[in-house]
Structure 1
Amino acid sequence: MLQDFKGFLSEYRDSWNSLDAERMAAHNSKGFKAIWANPDSITSEWGYDEAKEGWIQAYQQYQGRSPIWHFEDVLININNHEEGVVVCWVSFELDGKMTDVKLLFTQTFKKENGEWKKIREYVENSFANERLKTCTS
């Protein structure tokens, strides 16, 4: 099951970098729930529709700027509920240059009708690449 999930995760991340909001939204369960901690420490709760709209807006905002998301895995595993769980750092490149933004994601996926779908996501914001390098050295 873990190898199957890791194969899916590679496809999911390809979708993330595809700039195709429909393709990205197709990986979410209709019951998807997310909590994002914004840079100002205020949390936002999102569902399926808000997440899809968020990808549409992000991809439009970055159009023509060659955005690339980079993933640094902390954990990839299957939990006791047969859900795929990922904890990872996500950094971001625009116009061929790394930005100072680094986000901490916890994502949970479950098989629905034979396909992995994201059911939950929690995101912490306000980490800077340079600050993290100093703390982890």
Structure 2
Amino acid sequence: MDNQSFRAALDAFIQAWKNSSLIELETFISPDYQAREVRDGDIEAFGFEESVEGWKQGFAYVKGQQAEWDIREMSIIPLKEDETMVILYATIVLDGKSMETGSMFFDTFKKGEGGWKLVRSYIETGVSFRGTDLKGGERTFF
């Protein structure tokens, strides 16, 4: 795996997310993107167009509330020479307080001619993240 180029791509992806920049983030999503999201026990499958619409709505909410994203990198797992999964936990910080729940993203990126692109996601919503210190320290999920 090309660790340096993946790290640079992941950092840029997360920065685009933190900036709520749909134009930047969209460049990382493959046109063949496929995802599954679990929300309140319901499973929804969606692709590129629905994903972009979801990001658009989420970014509009964060900007409208003058909130910010809290995105935590949980793990990076090389799957193949040209595929890497990253596990991210994301929630919104509103008025200096992190929301009680967030989402776990199991995102698979594949390296192609256009660089690293997000090709698959599995997303669990409504996940609690214990702990009060937003800036670091050990966290326990349960």
* TM value normalised by structure 2: 0.82
Tell me which residue corresponds to 2:55: 55
Tell me which residue corresponds to 1:90: 90
CA deviation digits over 1:54-93, x for unaligned, max 9? Answer: 1111222232323322233232132225202101222321
Q: How many residues align?
A: 135
Distance 1:61 1:69, change over 3 A: closer
Distance 1:2 1:65, change over 3 A: same
1:2 to 2:3 alignment: yes
Structure 1 vs Structure 2 CA RMSD = 2.3
Identity of matched residues, %:
24
1:26 to 2:4 alignment: no
- SS at 2:100's partner residue? strand
* CA positional deviation for 1:103: 1.6
- 2: CA distance, partners of 1:54 / 1:136: 25
* CA positional deviation for 1:22: 2.2
**TM superposition outliers: structure 1 runs of 4+ over 6 Å:** none
- 2: CA distance, partners of 1:112 / 1:136: 34
Partner letter of residue 113 of structure 1?
E
- 1: CA distance, partners of 2:102 / 2:112: 30
Instruction: Please say if residues 22 and 52 of structure 1, whose CA atoms lie closer than 8 Å, have aligned partners that are also in contact.
Output: no
- 1: CA distance, partners of 2:22 / 2:111: 21
- 1: CA distance, partners of 2:105 / 2:59: 19
Tell me which residue corresponds to 1:37: 38
* CA positional deviation for 1:135: 5.4
- 1: CA distance, partners of 2:64 / 2:7: 30
- 2: CA distance, partners of 1:51 / 1:123: 12
Instruction: Please say if residues 128 and 141 of structure 2, whose CA atoms lie closer than 8 Å, have aligned partners that are also in contact.
Output: no
Partner letter of residue 100 of structure 1?
E
Gaps of 5+ in 2: 132-137
Gaps of 5+ in 1: none
Tell me which residue corresponds to 1:109: 109
**Which range moves more in the overlay, 25-34 or 87-96?**
87-96
Distance 1:2 1:60, change over 3 A: same
* TM value normalised by structure 1: 0.85
Tell me which residue corresponds to 1:12: 13
